[in-house]
Structure 1
């Protein structure tokens, strides 16, 4: 079927319409399939924005499987990765009768490490009842699992502290010298990926691997003729993480703990390693304590201008270098000590580079966590390294998402990624927004900077919730506003409230769906990748335009650089980025041809500022109103309201 026309296969007379129940041929899906097929054949770069409901997954999987080429499909989340591999890909393969080998590959933290499990059991540490039973469950599962993928063991929650103890990191993996190498789940998964025609990965893994190859360390992923990036709007931010040099308190503490664990059964080692390991951990703790008055993230000069922090950084450099020397003296005794020494040497070099050798092309910054910190040097311009990566692959690069354009233009996305003269395709959603949705812009709200803004938003939203009988997502741009709104609503409404942070995301969503009339309050992670079709969700409220936090030092440096190059940083960067983020939030509302709902955009800047038109012109074409009566009438027409 290699010569087949992908769009015809997805048409009314094609095998998908014949064999898949509920499959509806869509012109937009066929147009995208044709563009992807052409891009793969010609090794082109394509940006394809496909509105919700286009069916973009089939639109890229069909041409990928027809191409006869090796294709890597990368997604934004592990959940979407699993859906692609276990649901969508088998269906497409079956309909096409394609005898291709497919593989699923995740980052190593998703796979059980038999060596680390063995070490944790041998340590005989005293765990509380919950952790001990989780460790027992992991041990029992380890004997029967074929893939070692954490996803298989639902009874041990994803956030359990046992997982970091029984999975590996690139730093602590012993590689070919590990006693469990022949049975290693990571090695097996990578081997399968290297032999597969289609490999499903996620963006984290893809960029970790591409960045690694750039450093000359070989490759995890096989060379491919096409890379298809779904949820591509996430790429600019993620790429920044992987081209950064970083070192964290957690990495340093884990190094000390792993070195101490390696002392078990090695004569005399504890006498040499204990004191410098504890000194390193103590230095990390003192440095974190001295950072307490600082903001959660900020430019590096804030560390250099505070005397005690500057001294703490110098002490950390000295302690880490001394610890590396101690580990060098033990490196030949075991593979574990050799690994710890290699890690210490790399961390010493990285720390010295970040602290001592500022590069004009980098932004140096820090971030603080409740008990830790991280130091980073991030490239100011990601376009150049990304361009080099793409050119080296000599492959087709297909970027797709429901949210890549700003008022019909792909310029902002293309500039961030250094995409020069890409093919572009914009496909509107097949949903009938004119009939299915209504956009309500409440009148009379104050400027979002006012102290009482969140309370006023809740006042404006309550009549909408009464009309819809709950069934709403309230999306906030800050956790502070989220907490304030949750507190206010808990005293004023009778619907069940589901508040981000009170339970894992998947459980909140399940409980929200089951409640029928719930109100879910979320911030950042609920703006995208959340799919609630049907009547359980009939209102999406967005409190403010999602401009990036002004305290982001990398963003601030990028804005300064744009200004120096003659580009207005607000209109040239901040507005386009906020438009794409807003489109993600709005996309939660209509997920199905039968959905109906009201979008409530509270920010008065949409109508009071000139740039507000750019936001409104980027949204799906739905009727707008400032009159609450129209909202009430919309729900009066809805049989279930």
Structure 2
């Protein structure tokens, strides 16, 4: 404790080495609890409000622990920030002789084999994609890591990346001619040798479940696992502890088989002739669901005309292609891999069609050009506990949003963490002076016709008062589009009347990071977003002084997984709404609200338009879980707040 206290003291190494470092009692307490959990190999859950400095609170004890540490983040963006910014800062300040490594999933690294193949094939025809390939080639010649995140002049959304990286399905493994030079293998070797490894939740769970990649080797040697943004874990774990198969995997197999066949089995005409039939079967299965995207239960899918026949056709076509590939597999490593993939895909489509067993819900998600079939466990608690068993180690779960009114029951139930110790630290910000929670009066019921129009109408005077710098966080894409349409009119009218232009941004019109950069640079912009912008977004200062939430973010009850969970809980005599739906909505509201105040100098208004916050008994559980902002239902109070000088500058 003494060494921790000195590390965080006003004269300590952090304050000396890091400009702007402030000593916060919450941060020191949290670091001490984490250090104790690491030392005693305990399970510890910690909520740390915005501004607590939770990253340093876990990095200092992690670097000082003397054992091997895995830190897992919710997103690759945070993973890069942690590894490239926060970790070097703290390591340098503490002069910690700790070897660190960054590890991502294989699709993040340029593949020697597939890059060479893409160049040889000349498969790209648009000028932009040819340019992207040339830039990747130049990057490939100078990179040490092969991490595509370091190749900034090719957007992550470029289809070229798909062609020059490998997947678990198409990686040739030890049979690859470039195996010794492989960037993925190099990253794993570095991770094995490092004292501290930074991964992300998707990689952690994919590897834990597959038992064939990096975590299978890393975990046994690891003394501590720290999950940052741990509120995302139940959803990520559910995704990976289930099974899924998609038509896009079939299309990828067709394309890879065509290329491998032309390279190594050009004389096998049967192979090239059977592939169009498999591609058509995959596309027909997607079409059998209808034109709309969305989620459907297995029953809804199986009631659609032609769905069962289309599913059977995919399975038969895969078996037919597999039979031909078997005769050619010995001619190249690539063809052998395609044969194995065809067999595995046929088995997975068959398994989905035959049912998932007890405690599993089958469902499908239709995208614009693909259909993914899922078999998802209704609870991941037992499976997660099993993964945590075995070698004794510390498990730390931390986020700004894990508790409901200071209690962790919901989170502990989702992951089976009943024996965990818990800690709760509120934000050090002075919310009473810095922020107002505004719930407008006379709002219609959230499911009524024209509700989105009423939300925007109620928000316009507030928006005019703050002069832009606003987020509109919507609970559906339809509401997002309608909100943007209405605000477009407001922005045009405002420009005519005042001569001031308020830039309007919409989620999806460009990449998330680019959109945020433009919003920050504008200083008075209005950003309309849905799920993507409720969390993991940091905008400081006057660029963001108003956050509008249209509705309490309850998951749609017709979602197949949620519907099955509700049914199972109610059948067991439990109250699914109180135990499951409400806590998840509270955590989501806390995430959205957390966008508003990011520093001691920020000020602003959180406007939640949903009248249920006031009219329903459960509304109290929501607003009592939010930071202690001043609360009002009077528009005049909000307008006065924006007119008055910032108390933070006095």
Provide TM-score, normalisation by structure 2.
0.96
Contact 1:212 1:219 in 2 (8 A): no
* Residue 30 (structure 2) pairs with residue 32 (structure 1): yes
Give the deviation of 1:280 after TM superposition: 0.7
Picking from 593, 598, 606, the partner of 1:591 is 598
The residue correspondences of 1:618-637 to structure 2 (distance < 5 A) are 618-637=625-644
Q: Aligned partners of 2:285 and 2:419: how far apart in 1?
A: 48
Contact 1:112 1:149 in 2 (8 A): yes
Change (3 A) 1:603 1:267: closer
Q: Aligned partners of 2:227 and 2:148: how far apart in 1?
A: 24
* Residue 528 (structure 2) pairs with residue 530 (structure 1): no
* CA deviation string 1:91-113 (max 9, x = no partner): 11112111111000011111101
Contact 1:110 1:167 in 2 (8 A): yes
* CA deviation string 1:562-619 (max 9, x = no partner): 1122211111110000000000000000000000111101000000000000001100
Q: Secondary structure at the match of 1:447?
A: coil
Contact 1:5 1:34 in 2 (8 A): no
Q: Aligned partners of 2:53 and 2:120: how far apart in 1?
A: 50
Q: Aligned partners of 1:214 and 1:479: how far apart in 2?
A: 38
Q: Secondary structure at the match of 1:143?
A: helix
Who is 1:551 aligned against?
558
Contact 2:265 2:328 in 1 (8 A): no
Q: Secondary structure at the match of 2:397?
A: strand
Q: Aligned partners of 2:295 and 2:104: how far apart in 1?
A: 29
Who is 2:246 aligned against?
248
Who is 2:138 aligned against?
140
Structure 1: where are the runs of 5+ without partners?
none
Give the deviation of 1:215 after TM superposition: 11
Q: Number of residue pairs matched? A: 639
Contact 2:288 2:304 in 1 (8 A): no
Give the deviation of 1:370 after TM superposition: 0.5
Greater alpha carbon shift after TM alignment, 5-14 vs 115-124: 5-14
Give the deviation of 1:231 after TM superposition: 0.2
Q: Aligned partners of 1:375 and 1:220: how far apart in 2?
A: 31
Contact 2:265 2:331 in 1 (8 A): no
Q: Secondary structure at the match of 1:598?
A: strand
The residue correspondences of 1:59-138 to structure 2 (distance < 5 A) are 59-138=57-136
Who is 1:578 aligned against?
585
The residue correspondences of 1:16-415 to structure 2 (distance < 5 A) are 16-213=14-211, 218-219=216-217, 223-292=221-290, 296-415=294-413
Who is 2:480 aligned against?
482
Contact 2:410 2:583 in 1 (8 A): yes
Who is 2:617 aligned against?
610
Structure 2: where are the runs of 5+ without partners?
496-501
Who is 1:512 aligned against?
519
Q: Aligned partners of 1:217 and 1:437: how far apart in 2?
A: 43
Q: Secondary structure at the match of 1:254?
A: helix
RMSD (Å) for aligned C-alpha atoms: 1.7
Q: Aligned partners of 1:392 and 1:525: how far apart in 2?
A: 36
Q: Aligned partners of 1:297 and 1:547: how far apart in 2?
A: 16
Give the deviation of 1:362 after TM superposition: 1.0
Greater alpha carbon shift after TM alignment, 318-327 vs 103-112: 318-327
Give the deviation of 1:464 after TM superposition: 0.3
* CA deviation string 1:448-489 (max 9, x = no partner): 001110001111000001110011111000010010011111
Q: Aligned partners of 1:68 and 1:240: how far apart in 2?
A: 32
Contact 2:204 2:215 in 1 (8 A): no
Q: Aligned partners of 1:383 and 1:215: how far apart in 2?
A: 23
* CA deviation string 1:345-404 (max 9, x = no partner): 221221111111431121100000101100011111100100000113421110000000
Q: Aligned partners of 1:333 and 1:221: how far apart in 2?
A: 37
* Residue 514 (structure 2) pairs with residue 501 (structure 1): no
Contact 1:499 1:522 in 2 (8 A): yes
Give the deviation of 1:7 after TM superposition: 3.7
